[in-house]
Amino acid sequence: MAQMENGNIKKWAETYEVVKLDLDPDHTWRPQKINSQGKSFHLTHTIACAIEKQDDLIFCEDAHLGIIAYGDTREEVMREFSNEFNALWDIIAEEEDAMLTEDARLLKRRLIELVRKVETHSDKQGTGDQRRAD
């Protein structure tokens, strides 16, 4: 995991796995903000979610967060990913540490480090930040 600035590595945190990444903007979704169900999660850095097609199903996965989202369209996959992210925040990040397993506490720390700010708004049907990274 690295934080990038102007195309250069600003901070290297940890290596989880090495994979070839397709940088085609249609293949990777890089949200800086995730909107879901009345919340906007402003991230400390963009995350890279590879969007792939297998048979007739489109999916994306973030193994670091344990999120796999499926859908019939790219937009549906991003919406499902955003909803899963929101659910993780509600269930894990906002829970007391004493109520969580060791793995859940580790995920909570990842989420808290990733999210800079959470804003609430009236749009309960938010579908995720669908802008492409420049």
Domain count, the chain: 1
Rounded CA-CA distance 67/92 in Å is: 13
Tell me how far apart the alpha carbons of residues 1 and 11 are, in angstroms, rounded to a whole number. 9
In whole angstroms, what is the distance from residue 1 CA to residue 123 CA?
A: 32
Helices (H), 11-93: 74-88
87 in a domain, yes or no?
Answer: yes
Residue ranges making up the domain that contains 35: 24-120
Amino acid present at 130: Q
Residue 19 lies in a domain: no
pLDDT in tens, 24-63: 556 788 899 999 999 999 999 989 888 888 888 899 989 8
Output the pTM of the full model: 0.74
User: Does residue 125 lie in a domain region?
Assistant: no
Which residue positions in the chain have pLDDT lower than 70?
Answer: 1-2, 14-26, 123-134
Per DSSP, 93 falls in state: I
